[in-house]
Structure 1
Amino acid sequence: MGTMDDLLSPEVVARLAAAVSTAMPGRELPSLVRAQTAVVDRRLRERVDIVRDALLADLPEGFDVVEALVPELSTSPLFSGWMIWPVTELVTQRALRSGSTEHFDSALELLAQLTVGLTAEFAVRDLLNERPERALSTMRTWLEHEDENVRRLATEGSRAYLPWAKRVPWLIAHPSATQHILNAAYRDPAEYVRRSAANHLNDLSRIDPDLVAATAGRWAEHPDDNTAWVLRSSLRTLVKRGNPEALALLGFSGDGLSVAQPRLSADAIEWGGTVEFTAEVTNGGSSPAVVAIDYAIGFLRANGSVSPKTFKLGSRSLAPGETVVVTKSHSFRPITTRVYYPGAHFITVQANGLLSPPAEFLVQNP
């Protein structure tokens, strides 16, 4: 099984070249042919750029060429999967080079067409960066589209902190600008869209927690069968931070909570090993408590700093005076999404955002 990088393999680039040749008979594509070998041993993002630039070089100048090409490609059985990503970026680059408002709007229409085959969420960021308000105005209309992929493009493409994607500083500076999109999407019939809306609102926790809590509060006033799940996902960051409004919306309570320092099974673990711990959570109040329990690992970074990452443990109901013991193990086996460094780490446990004292341990040299 290949890596993510192999999703845009030489074979995939060759199929794209064949699809373009079919759509534009007689057109020479020397740059796209060279791209078939140029993508080898490159990361996925680099491969996308290589193929996009090859298309820009091989095709005649002007947005009109792209505007005619995309409908032709969309009917080709060869045109599918990850080869669509560089084509979405071809569309945005040609539109931005043109500088025409008409071409800007047409590019958004083409992205909505292409996203049915593979998400155009990364390419739309270029248009958002150029003219955010105009792009959002069109993206709001996508929430009425019959295809869930187009509806999701509105919510996912306009996320403040979309993974893998370019930042759009204007979205971060104007966190309320996408409220119309979110309010139309959180009750969408497709889970795909609802999940995107929840992730989008959760992103805004990093910018404006009050806005996130207020938005979730409005959604909670008129719930449907899916609202409870959407709220849990949307508020997950605020719950980890112990935000009172978020905790109350999700039914968590407890004024007299305490969390003891975690007890570790060992003060040091082997490289690639597992750290095990237990911790006590006590309801010292006079009323029952519903408690969200999480834990955080303080991961050592390359520069010597320690960066905590929070993980869920679950929720418990505690009677007045009751203590619950939570047990967990966390693996340090190698994974592609995190680099481990030998040295001092720590664990904390939290209940409704209330942190325990940290317990330190060493990750030994490999």
Structure 2
Amino acid sequence: MKDVFNLALLREIADELHRAHAPFDADAFVARCMDGLDRLELTARAAHIAEAMHAHLPRPFAEAAAVIEAALGPELPADGKIGHAAMRYMPHLAFVQTYGLDDYEAAIRLQAELTKRFTAEFSIRAFLEKYPERTYARMLAWAVDDNAHLRRLASEGTRPRLPWAPRLRAYQHDPRPVLELLELLKDDPVPYVRRSVANNLNDIAKDNPALTIATCRRWAKHAPEGRAWIVRHALRSLVKAGDRDAIRILGGAENPSVRIGRIAIAPQPVVLGDAVRLSFAIESTAPQPQRLLIDYAVHFVKANGGARPKVFKLRALTLQPGEKAVLSAAVSFAAMTTRRHFPGHHRIDALINGEAHPLGGFEVTG
């Protein structure tokens, strides 16, 4: 992914800035960007290019911001499909975050334009930290803006636990201001925005489960489908953890009565780099229909030989008395940046409305 920032793209960025501001030295900018670029990873490359922008754009920041805004391409459609091409604006946002903190209005204006072409969810956090009340007020305004990208930023930018970003400790401690924002967005017409609302609530649930439960219980009453989807997605971590209130909000049966059979786990053993396939049948043994939220947990072996479960979503379904369903999944043991795999015995459980049902295990070999 880091290779998106290559010589060809840097020349494009340089030409755009030169067209917006004739004194901009495109060749010198590209040369400065390329110096040491190949040794850097993705975010470091963006920061390196931002430093080159700072060296070649006019001062003060407001003048540089005006050049960048004039050089911007068209807005993205509000469908959440950002793609590699839009990553060209990562350096622009790094520039704002690094050099624009002391010029609030110019920096906020530029981030509002950049988020329509990539996302300002990372850079805006520095402004929430330095200017919490002022930036929160701007978020409230964006939450009712006609532009879906700005509405989405109001939610995504305030996520307390946004991945790959510093946590917003104030909102972890007291998420009520964030919940006030999300109230404005819970029935947003754009799925791209609603997905962010759900992810924000899921973040809040990790530090403030009771507030999340209360919010989702209220939102679930007479909810249109878009809001019902938010509630389901927002409660996913609590459901994985077996939280009874979350399962109850989603209609899950109390003390589900089921029979598990026809369990298959193959291949045996599994070689590191391959995948294991799991299937099992579930039969309802209750005298009435049951709503079942079905996940599964793989107890991955750690470096020290112990094991830690990771829960994966599987399916939600309603079974009539005596009705059966067959469920299946695959677990990859390919190398990945987010999880390192180790040889050893791995157990698998089915989680039915939070209750664990052992399915067996398998060996992983090197």
Which amino acid letter does the alignment assign opposite residue 49 of structure 1? A
**Take 2:20 and 2:330, find their aligned partners in 1: how far apart are those partners?**
55
**Take 2:181 and 2:305, find their aligned partners in 1: how far apart are those partners?**
41
Identify which range, 281-290 or 50-59, moves more after superposition.
Answer: 281-290
Distance change (3 Å), C-alpha of 1:140 and 1:283: same
Alignment of 1:347-362 (within 5 A): 347-357=348-358, 359-362=360-363
Which amino acid letter does the alignment assign opposite residue 22 of structure 1? R
Aligned residue in 1 for 2:81: none
Displacement of 1:111: 0.6
Alignment of 1:73-92 (within 5 A): 73-74=71-72, 81-92=86-97
Identify which range, 276-285 or 144-153, moves more after superposition.
Answer: 276-285
Distance change (3 Å), C-alpha of 1:95 and 1:244: same
**Take 2:302 and 2:21, find their aligned partners in 1: how far apart are those partners?**
51
SS of alignment partner, residue 362 of structure 1 = strand
Aligned residue in 2 for 1:65: 63
SS of alignment partner, residue 145 of structure 1 = coil
SS of alignment partner, residue 346 of structure 1 = strand
The yes-or-no answer on 1:176 pairing with 2:171 is no
The yes-or-no answer on 1:40 pairing with 2:45 is no
Aligned residue in 2 for 1:220: 220
Which amino acid letter does the alignment assign opposite residue 18 of structure 1? D
Distance change (3 Å), C-alpha of 1:305 and 1:46: farther
Distance change (3 Å), C-alpha of 1:91 and 1:271: closer
Aligned residue in 2 for 1:276: 277
**Take 2:293 and 2:117, find their aligned partners in 1: how far apart are those partners?**
39
Cα deviation 1:75-108 (Å, max 9, x = unaligned): 699xx83222211221232232x3xxxx224322
Aligned residue in 2 for 1:157: 157
Alignment of 1:259-274 (within 5 A): 264-265=265-266, 268-274=269-275
**Take 1:232 and 1:38, find their aligned partners in 2: how far apart are those partners?**
46
Cα deviation 1:342-363 (Å, max 9, x = unaligned): 2332211110011124734321
The yes-or-no answer on 1:312 pairing with 2:313 is yes
Identify which range, 108-117 or 265-274, moves more after superposition.
Answer: 265-274
Cα deviation 1:281-323 (Å, max 9, x = unaligned): 5656554321111111222344555332221221233455777
The yes-or-no answer on 1:50 pairing with 2:55 is no
The yes-or-no answer on 1:291 pairing with 2:296 is no
Displacement of 1:27: 3.4
**Take 2:60 and 2:138, find their aligned partners in 1: how far apart are those partners?**
23
Aligned residue in 2 for 1:110: 110
Distance change (3 Å), C-alpha of 1:105 and 1:171: farther
Identify which range, 36-45 or 14-23, moves more after superposition.
Answer: 36-45
The yes-or-no answer on 1:25 pairing with 2:37 is no
Cα deviation 1:7-45 (Å, max 9, x = unaligned): 222221222122222323223464552213533353221
**Counterpart pick for 2:5 among 5, 8, 15:** 8
**Take 1:318 and 1:337, find their aligned partners in 2: how far apart are those partners?**
35
Q: Which segments of 5 or more consecutive residues in structure 2 lack a partner in the other structure?
A: 76-84
**Take 1:318 and 1:269, find their aligned partners in 2: how far apart are those partners?**
33
Identify which range, 11-20 or 257-266, moves more after superposition.
Answer: 257-266
SS of alignment partner, residue 339 of structure 1 = coil
SS of alignment partner, residue 253 of structure 1 = coil
Cα deviation 1:105-125 (Å, max 9, x = unaligned): 432222111211111111112
2:74/2:117 contact within 8 Å kept? no
SS of alignment partner, residue 165 of structure 1 = coil
Distance change (3 Å), C-alpha of 1:326 and 1:23: closer
Distance change (3 Å), C-alpha of 1:270 and 1:222: same
2:248/2:254 contact within 8 Å kept? no
Which amino acid letter does the alignment assign opposite residue 88 of structure 2? M
2:256/2:352 contact within 8 Å kept? no
Distance change (3 Å), C-alpha of 1:186 and 1:305: farther
Aligned residue in 1 for 2:340: 339
2:283/2:322 contact within 8 Å kept? yes
Identify which range, 17-26 or 204-213, moves more after superposition.
Answer: 17-26
1:259/1:355 contact within 8 Å kept? no
Q: Which segments of 5 or more consecutive residues in structure 1 lack a partner in the other structure?
A: none
Distance change (3 Å), C-alpha of 1:144 and 1:267: same
Displacement of 1:275: 2.3
Distance change (3 Å), C-alpha of 1:351 and 1:68: same
Identify which range, 189-198 or 65-74, moves more after superposition.
Answer: 65-74
Displacement of 1:187: 0.9
Which amino acid letter does the alignment assign opposite residue 294 of structure 1? D
Displacement of 1:51: 0.9
Aligned residue in 2 for 1:139: 139
Which amino acid letter does the alignment assign opposite residue 134 of structure 1? R
Displacement of 1:260: 5.9
Displacement of 1:182: 0.9
Which amino acid letter does the alignment assign opposite residue 44 of structure 1? L
2:259/2:285 contact within 8 Å kept? no
How many residues in Structure 1 have an aligned counterpart in Structure 2?
Answer: 355
Identify which range, 175-184 or 250-259, moves more after superposition.
Answer: 250-259
**Take 2:154 and 2:282, find their aligned partners in 1: how far apart are those partners?**
42
**Take 2:126 and 2:191, find their aligned partners in 1: how far apart are those partners?**
27
1:155/1:197 contact within 8 Å kept? yes
Cα deviation 1:121-168 (Å, max 9, x = unaligned): 111121122223321211111122222111111111111222232322
2:160/2:203 contact within 8 Å kept? yes
